[in-house]
Each structure stands twice: as structure tokens, then as C-alpha cells.
């Protein structure tokens, strides 16, 4: 089995730490990447951490993950609420998918309450700040180890 976990981040998450810190906190995406990589390694996995502001790029990376990744963790950001293309791409992936949101999307504007990606995700983590990514890595390791 592949030991690679692909972690995907959608639009505007490159600005994590600078963007609306009252909602998303002060940690940067690089901080999150370091945390995820360290934790994945400690659990016997590796992680490929990617961010794009473009829907098609995220779809290409999901398709690439079909070839080499055991699981996908995705924060689709605004595309959560709009993208059937990302949902369709995730449906072509055979391993587990976990969805992460830094903020609690259910406590925010009603247009954020629905996520297309949730229809494919084994689990959704929202509102735990960037700690949600570590929680997702932990859960992914458990799922992949078949526990
Ligand atoms: C987000 C929530 C989305 O509604 C928003 O568009 C984002 C980030 C989150 O991590 O809380 O860009 O996915």
C-alpha cells in the first residue's frame, strides 16, 4: 500500500495567517505543512502538501493522487460550496477522503453550510482551526491502518 497522503488546499488558503485572522487564525499554510509532514512521518506516512487558487489544478492533483496516494485530505475552501468538478474527481479516487475547514462553516453565512465535497468525504472536520489538519492526518493514519 502507498504510504503517501495528499493534502490539498483550495483558493485563498495561500493567505492563511494574513487573511481574516479573526476567522482563520495566525498560523500560515507553511506552518500547517510542517506540522502535517512531521505528524505523518511520526505515524509512518509521508504527505504531499499542495495549494492552488484554480479549480482545474486541484482536479489535476486529485487525478494524480489516483496514481500514488493512499488517501486525500482536502480543504476545498470556497470550491466546497460550488464545485461539482472537484466532487466528481474525488469520486474517481479509491482511497479515503477527509474534508477539513479551519472555520466552523455551519456557524457562518448560509451559503457556506453546504459542501459538495462532504458527499464523498469519510469525515469532515470544521471549526478546530488549523489543528483540524493534524486531526485529519491522525484519522487518515487510523483509516489506512485499517483500525
Ligand atoms: C474554509 C471555509 C470556506 O467557506 C471558505 O471559502 C474558505 C476557507 C475554511 O477553511 O474554513 O476559503 O474552507
Cα of 104 vs centre of ligand 1, distance in Å, is: 9
SS3 content of the chain, % helix, strand, coil (to 5): 50, 20, 35
Average model confidence (pLDDT) across the chain: 97
Q: What is the pLDDT of residues 82-140, one digit of tens each?
A: 999 999 999 999 999 999 999 999 999 999 999 999 999 999 999 999 999 999 999 99
Beta bridge partners of 101: 126
Under 8 Å between Cβ of 44 and 109: no
Res. 145: pLDDT tops 90:
yes
Domain tally for the chain?
Answer: 1
CB of residue 12 inside a 6 A radius of ligand 1? yes
Per the structure, the complete domain to which residue 47 belongs is given by 4-145
Would you state the pLDDT for residue 88? 98
Kindly report the CATH number assigned to the domain that includes residue 138: 3.40.50.9100
Q: Write down the residue that cell numbers 492533483 correspond to.
A: 61
Its pTM stands at 0.97
Res. 1: pLDDT tops 90:
no
Under 8 Å between Cβ of 146 and 96: no
Kindly report the protein residue whose alpha carbon is nearest to atom 7 of ligand 1: 77
Closest residue by Cα to residue 40 from 3, 65, 77, 12? 3
Amino acid at each position: 500500500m502507498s504510504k503517501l497522503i495528499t493534502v490539498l488546499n483550495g483558493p485563498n488558503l495561500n493567505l492563511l495567517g494574513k487573511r481574516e485572522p479573526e476567522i482563520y487564525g495566525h498560523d500560515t499554510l507553511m506552518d500547517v505543512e510542517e506540522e502535517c509532514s512531521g505528524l505523518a512521518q511520526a505515524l509512518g506516512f509521508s504527505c504531499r502538501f499542495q495549494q492552488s487558487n484554480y479549480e482545474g489544478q486541484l482536479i489535476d492533483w486529485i487525478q494524480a493522487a489516483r496514481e500514488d496516494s493512499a488517501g486525500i485530505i482536502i480543504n476545498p475552501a470556497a470550491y466546497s460550496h460550488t464545485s461539482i468538478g472537484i466532487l466528481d474527481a474525488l469520486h474517481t479516487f479509491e482511497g479515503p477522503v477527509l474534508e477539513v475547514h479551519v472555520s466552523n462553516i455551519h456557524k457562518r453565512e448560509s451559503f457556506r453550510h453546504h459542501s459538495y465535497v462532504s458527499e464523498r468525504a469519510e469525515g469532515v472536520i470544521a471549526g478546530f482551526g488549523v489543528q483540524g489538519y493534524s486531526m485529519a492526518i491522525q484519522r487518515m493514519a487510523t483509516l489506512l491502518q485499517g483500525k
